[in-house]
Structure 1
Amino acid sequence: MSQAKYGPIAQIGMVTDDLDASIARWIATMGVGPWTVFRNVTLKGRFLGRDTEVRMDVGLAYQGDTQVELIHVTNGAVSPYLAADGTPLAGLHHLAWLTDDLDATVAGAELDGLRTVFRAHSPGTRVAYLEAPGEAGILFEFIESGQTRQLIADGIAATRGWDGSNPIHVIDFAQA
């Protein structure tokens, strides 16, 4: 099989306890940028059978054709991003794929033995996080969003032409 079942990995997601410091490190040590930072993102959904509303700040940049996502949770809502005691699950968190049909993709993944732990939505986007037996510490995310494919294409193009200037662009949903 020459191609993965769900296509190429679109995103590598990490949780951080300090988004701004993490972005600064990625720029300084890896030269990754420019970054788009989304402040005050809200995901409403269910985590392990419990309703939740997670607020977070998210940084997105690109390495080649892969989106690098840094997540900083800004509330204490139960979520896959925080340990039971509320501390961030800092470090590598998930790998993500894009899908045009989240329900069908999740159903297929569950038939393959994965277990859904989180389903959520924000305007224009639906996501699901699944865990696989034997793959401790990493989740698999599927993203359904008409806007995400174009966002990734635009981000990849911006990265290819980036000269190091204007490394961070902020979009604050609280101001929108």
Structure 2
Amino acid sequence: MGAIDQIGHVTADLDAAVAMWTSHLGVGPWTVYRNVRLTGDYRGLPADVTIDVALGYRGTVQIELIQPTSDAPSPYRDDDGTLREGVHHLAWVVEDFDTAVALLGAHGLAPVFKAGNSASQVAYFEPAPGVVWELIAGEGMRAMMDAGMAAAAGWDGRDPVTEIDLAA
């Protein structure tokens, strides 16, 4: 799959997580997307999940902070609905989503969560207990990441957060 593109973390408080990553680790600037909706299936059942997401960069790795904003069953919650806080997944951006999903399928892995929206498609795999891999595809996804890395490389510490509300 190549180099890891993203490390995802689940949090109960996105704003506090962004502040911690900014102040303690110098990660920034961040783009925060509110009201992200992912529609697809989770463990074979229909899934309609809403999350708030913050994206920042450390070198060539995208840091994704995720705060679920719905109680829907999803890979962000345990079976009893408890939030799966902490490091959540490793992800790769792929150009050909279906081929990448099929490649993992050929190695005996099936997606436990496959969903998308108008901007992207995602598939989550659990190759072992406690391990989640994600494939991400979308028009311009690699260019968006390159722009984020460039912004992080030249960031002077001012204006650490840009917010985009997808419900607006």
2:140 paired residue number = 147
Segments of 4+ moved more than 4 angstroms: none
* C-alpha deviation, 1:85, in angstroms: 2.1
Q: How does 1:112-131 map to 2 (within 5 A)?
A: 112-131=107-126
Matched, 1:66 2:58: no
Unaligned runs of 5+ in 1: 1-5
Q: Could you tell me the percent identity over the aligned residues?
A: 46
> Which of the numbers 67, 77, 83 marks the counterpart of 1:82?
77
1:95 paired residue number = 90
- Cα distance in 2 for partners of 1:100, 1:23 equals 29
Matched, 1:47 2:42: yes
> Which of the numbers 134, 140, 149 marks the counterpart of 1:156?
149
SS in 1 for 2:17: helix
- Cα distance in 1 for partners of 2:119, 2:19 equals 29
SS in 2 for 1:116: coil
> How many residues align structurally?
168
* C-alpha deviation, 1:139, in angstroms: 0.7
- Cα distance in 1 for partners of 2:138, 2:119 equals 6
* C-alpha deviation, 1:10, in angstroms: 0.8
Matched, 1:23 2:18: yes
User: Given the two structures, how large is their TM-score scaled by the length of structure 2?
Assistant: 0.97
Alignment RMSD, CA only?
A: 0.9
User: Given the two structures, how large is their TM-score scaled by the length of structure 1?
Assistant: 0.93
Unaligned runs of 5+ in 2: none
> Which of the numbers 139, 160, 164 marks the counterpart of 1:167?
160
Contact 1:34 1:168 in 2 (8 A): yes
> Which of the numbers 130, 133, 136 marks the counterpart of 1:137?
130
